[in-house]
Structure 1
């Protein structure tokens, strides 16, 4: 069984660029995994997929190179369970008709009866038929693997086109019409067919610059170098991406500039070219009067150019073009791209000039005509509620002097949705509001709050820059959460059409990272009240937010036990949570921690099972045992110290003070019967445990640390 490298390439018309990277990765991965399943590739050799599987993806091809593929898989022993012995054999030991029929179905005759194996199967003795299944031939296995790979491709939209084989009126369904198929095992063509195509060794190179047409691939290992040399194509998506990034830096460096960093744009451009050639273009400096966000977005979104920034991060009037051709004189290509980008920039300038003719404040009444949600009213109604919530938050923060700015910023925050620029580029909402507010002569507090009220937009995004921005951003996100929860639009599974998880994390980040003196329940109560929803809705949102908080903290490296111990208490001042987590981690390192955590868990279980009410404080006059007296005395000494540290915000000291309770707690459980026969004695001991439980669980629920 000879092992040689395998190459498969599907040659197609231009594939959707935003999906190409995923299409290439999936095609190669599923193909290789299917070959492993069939025994044609050793699973152990596939552990480091980077060494054994290479995926190729260009605008006109999907391919895979898999190392060490067998021409035929090894034979496999097969054991087939037939039936109980007493069913398959009669009293004389001869085969019954039922057994003969079963053997015939397996392709065995009566002579196989003597070779059947007996083995215990539960309480019965069962007959097994052992045989050897011949290994899968590569042609058969690759056929199945190819069909599986095509079936599992994440195709955005399927096309229907005539069968390339030209037989009858058959049609083929695929992402784009396919025109060629290569399947090489070493230098030999593997006879497989898909999408009406028979496998061969020929493909097409670059549309205009291929040195040879068609390109005949000598063997599986020659594919990439032959495509680069004869076909003028860098077939590997990863290599092409690296080459584009290198050329972008090389073109920008002599100018003292740097290309804008955008991984999504780099991926998309990599999917648009087969042989990249980076060129420098230029536009009139007059366009730089337009906010650079507008120019950058129109160049990236519409033309796939890489704008160039100076060392201060300011946009220049130069940009980089990733061309798919490399003529000796590139001036025509550059001039053509400059002609194309000019109308785009002119449109942006026109929108900007037109928008500034009308003040943001004059656009606010128009929000009443914009539907936000059919159950929640218009954007105008929503803006009014966001304004009320934002002003309420400002009052909670004690910044009444900024109340007017907060009110104005909230009122104007959505006004730019009615501008031509945001209508053309929705991604600029907020940013354009800031520019138009500054043009209207509004203060920077208001202008930046309009831009920042969408922040943080994504994980790692910066927070609003000012208190005014924080108030409006919190109000906007809280109103969204409460409003949509109130009408039952909650996230389910992986579906979150209104990005409520992102809104929740935005609120959490602002409360924690700005260490705001705000209680989460109070914020939600205000937002729910202004939206006209009950406290139950506020409670649902609170639960949802603590779930998001737990997930976020685990992603930051805290253990599940640490997170559960702190978040389980639902502390309403989220800004305290990092200090609480640090205190729990320090406490967990103490030698007394495991015993105290276990004791705390035991106390909690006892209190849960207690019937009737449990007293808050024990009465020392009712103590009988020395151990309960000692525990009461220890609580009297240690409790105030722990409480004082807690009140001062020193959570680490508060928890560490509890270490001294280990000895009296252990002695109590060793020598005291809590559930005494005397009801008064039992009630007093339960009150003592209740007192202990409160003292131990102010910072965190220490029972969550118990193993």
Structure 2
């Protein structure tokens, strides 16, 4: 008989950051096993997760699964039956292992022919009972939970030890109103759970049936069991509390913090706290981080995004008078803010420049030296890039030199997430000006997908240099990402380089800046073109034999960057064919990529596009088979056929127009000019034998095709558009 099923595992407080995933995995694990056993079919599944419980509800669960028809392959007929057709000992033994005897031999089926003929045994496997199926489902689900760290604990008998994320105390399993007899972690199923530690009307809540859990737990136990419902309630209360404060303030938006707080409370109650305004003299990033990371508070920002001296507390209790809760939290947060103020005041007693020397004692990588040595490489790359872009090289050098100095400050030592940000504040305090301060702060940007780029040109130069140094250094020593492992965030660094080159439309060739960076890692870089400014760095010490590896890593890094670019473009909505056509040419100016893609898309829409793409592919295949240097000069006197004369004339007419458009950056017009070639190209392949027996004639026709190929593939490799 079909009834709804409910399961709850009641435990001690679960890790709040992991609670959402634990709840989802608990439900999915049980659902998967019940589906496999045939106990559910298209059931609606509802999961619950609170700090002290994981639970799941299923609709339409059978008390016993349907029988399953099974057809099993036994053995070849020649092995299972003797010459008289009687069962051999081997067959009888096999049947016995399946719970059958000699009487089953007559019902065996034969499949196949000749030596491949095989005996098949058909049987009916009884459907699994709910208790047995749920028992296995629970065991499977618990074994597969994404538990951050397992702990062992003793059971009530004082002897047995089990392992789980937290000690488990109660288990509920109800099929309708009936208890399903199952057990895990030393617990036997029942119908009792515990409500809120402090606010429950009664500490023990006896669940009537599978469908009454959420309502009973809320009314009798003062617990919102649903993670999603509890989270939505917190969002609602945060907005209401911010509105109560008034003045257009709003709680800071942080999805991870919201999930974590949802995993900390069973009955949320948002209250408003405040701190002394004197703390607002500390950079707001410091105050926000300490309130969020240490206290799980939601800071309040004004309409201009500036931090106020009020914050929101998500409490797990709702007393009639919340003043004690508020005062307690205010008393706790005050020392945290005082620490931040102390760090800020202490750090400003030393300039960033005075800290640079100390970076020579901080190991960056055992094969790439110290942060001090790394900074020298970043400086050299930054100055070289600045010179190419016409950016203030002195400012770029200063910003690059100071970029990592805040790693040695007390504030960044306490809050590593603030590196760069604090460097910007301290640079302003040192009187270095907004340009350098912004560049120091922004040189980590973009830190993640969708993050802003550096605000000024100097910042872009230093950010490029920093990311390039990281990429070429780690590729040079063979520390490449593998699978989903990328401990040095090289994919993010590559995407950062790509975004800056494209979105700022920087006039830099990718190969050129990679060679520039690799030369610096290799130990030698020419700065500003001044022979007197050559600088040599020996960064490997005893590992100098690794230098040849650096030189061999450039191609790998270049391919890595183009792969990241291809993935990014596909995510932006470009087709795989469009992306492949453009990137097949390895365009060096990444700022041109969008225009090339637009041109390819417009060309592909032309009625002539398919035929020209196919012809282009054919031309490319012909040219690949030519040994030695490709002929490029066409001798008009050797053009014998009318079709090749017509193609030569068409090229002479269309090439100037297409090339002029290309040189002016109008890639769409350049490609569209090629449409006029369809007729001459089709006629050429219909009427001309390229590989003529006469060598001079053959070479002349190959040269004609080489010119055609070069003209057609300046913007993109059009053969990639061929189906």
Q: TM-score normalised by the shorter chain: which range applies?
A: over 0.9
Q: Is the 8 A contact 1:158 1:175 kept in 2?
A: yes
Match of residue 186 from structure 1: 176
Structure 1 Cα separation of the partners of residues 419 and 285 of structure 2: 11
- Superimposed CA distance per residue, residues 497-546 of structure 1 (whole angstroms, 9 cap, x where no aligned partner): 11111000000000001111111111111111111155433322111111
Match of residue 326 from structure 2: 334
CA drift at 1:355: 0.7
CA drift at 1:213: 2.2
Q: Is the 8 A contact 2:476 2:551 kept in 1?
A: no
Match of residue 495 from structure 1: 485
Match of residue 688 from structure 2: 672
> Tell me, what secondary structure is at the counterpart of 2:553?
helix
> Tell me, what secondary structure is at the counterpart of 2:492?
helix
Match of residue 226 from structure 2: 236
Q: Tell whether 2:142 aligns with 1:143.
A: no
Match of residue 21 from structure 1: 20
Match of residue 555 from structure 1: 571
- Superimposed CA distance per residue, residues 457-495 of structure 1 (whole angstroms, 9 cap, x where no aligned partner): 000000000001000000000011011111111111111
Match of residue 450 from structure 1: 440
- Structure 1 alignment gaps of length 5 or more: 47-51
Match of residue 218 from structure 1: 208
Q: Is the 8 A contact 1:186 1:219 kept in 2?
A: yes
2:626 to 610, 621, 624: 610
Normalising by structure 1, report the TM-score: 0.97
- Structure 2 alignment gaps of length 5 or more: 523-546
Q: Tell whether 2:248 aligns with 1:249.
A: no
Structure 2 Cα separation of the partners of residues 288 and 585 of structure 1: 53
Structure 2 Cα separation of the partners of residues 339 and 186 of structure 1: 49
Match of residue 523 from structure 1: 513
Q: Tell whether 2:582 aligns with 1:566.
A: yes
Structure 2 Cα separation of the partners of residues 691 and 101 of structure 1: 77
> Tell me, what secondary structure is at the counterpart of 1:41?
coil
CA drift at 1:612: 2.5
Q: Is the 8 A contact 2:111 2:119 kept in 1?
A: yes
Q: Is the 8 A contact 1:433 1:447 kept in 2?
A: yes
CA drift at 1:123: 6.1
Match of residue 701 from structure 1: 717
Q: What is the 5 A alignment of 1:70-89?
A: 70-89=62-81
Q: What is the 5 A alignment of 1:48-197?
A: 52-120=44-112, 124-164=116-156, 166=157, 169-197=159-187
Match of residue 558 from structure 2: 542
Q: Is the 8 A contact 2:197 2:203 kept in 1?
A: no
Q: Is the 8 A contact 2:381 2:517 kept in 1?
A: yes
Runs of 4+ off more than 6 Å:
none
- Superimposed CA distance per residue, residues 68-108 of structure 1 (whole angstroms, 9 cap, x where no aligned partner): 11111111111112233333333433333332222222222
> Tell me, what secondary structure is at the counterpart of 1:220?
coil
> Tell me, what secondary structure is at the counterpart of 2:212?
helix
> Tell me, what secondary structure is at the counterpart of 2:40?
coil
Match of residue 603 from structure 2: 587
1:209 to 170, 190, 199: 199
> Tell me, what secondary structure is at the counterpart of 1:362?
helix
Structure 2 Cα separation of the partners of residues 153 and 277 of structure 1: 30
Match of residue 535 from structure 2: none
Q: Is the 8 A contact 1:617 1:690 kept in 2?
A: no
- Superimposed CA distance per residue, residues 278-306 of structure 1 (whole angstroms, 9 cap, x where no aligned partner): 00001000100101000000000000000
Structure 1, 72-81 or 456-465: larger mean CA deviation: 72-81
Structure 1 Cα separation of the partners of residues 93 and 340 of structure 2: 80
Structure 2 Cα separation of the partners of residues 413 and 499 of structure 1: 19
Structure 2 Cα separation of the partners of residues 409 and 93 of structure 1: 91
Q: What is the 5 A alignment of 1:368-379?
A: 368-379=360-371
Structure 1, 16-25 or 674-683: larger mean CA deviation: 674-683
> Tell me, what secondary structure is at the counterpart of 2:394?
helix
Q: Tell whether 2:345 aligns with 1:353.
A: yes
Q: Is the 8 A contact 1:562 1:584 kept in 2?
A: yes
Q: Is the 8 A contact 1:525 1:535 kept in 2?
A: no
Q: Is the 8 A contact 2:75 2:119 kept in 1?
A: yes
Normalising by structure 2, report the TM-score: 0.95
Structure 1 Cα separation of the partners of residues 335 and 187 of structure 2: 44
Q: Tell whether 2:391 aligns with 1:395.
A: no
1:282 to 267, 274, 286: 274
Q: Tell whether 2:312 aligns with 1:320.
A: yes
> Tell me, what secondary structure is at the counterpart of 1:55?
strand
Match of residue 413 from structure 1: 403
CA drift at 1:255: 1.7
Structure 1 Cα separation of the partners of residues 579 and 114 of structure 2: 46
Structure 1 Cα separation of the partners of residues 90 and 425 of structure 2: 86
Q: Is the 8 A contact 1:279 1:320 kept in 2?
A: yes
> For the aligned residues, what is the CA RMSD?
1.3
Structure 1, 302-311 or 128-137: larger mean CA deviation: 128-137
> Tell me, what secondary structure is at the counterpart of 1:506?
helix
CA drift at 1:605: 1.2
Q: Is the 8 A contact 2:10 2:171 kept in 1?
A: yes
- Superimposed CA distance per residue, residues 562-598 of structure 1 (whole angstroms, 9 cap, x where no aligned partner): 1111111110100000111111111111111111111
Match of residue 300 from structure 2: 308
Structure 2 Cα separation of the partners of residues 475 and 390 of structure 1: 5
Q: Is the 8 A contact 2:234 2:270 kept in 1?
A: yes
- Superimposed CA distance per residue, residues 131-172 of structure 1 (whole angstroms, 9 cap, x where no aligned partner): 1111111111111111111111111111011134x2x72210
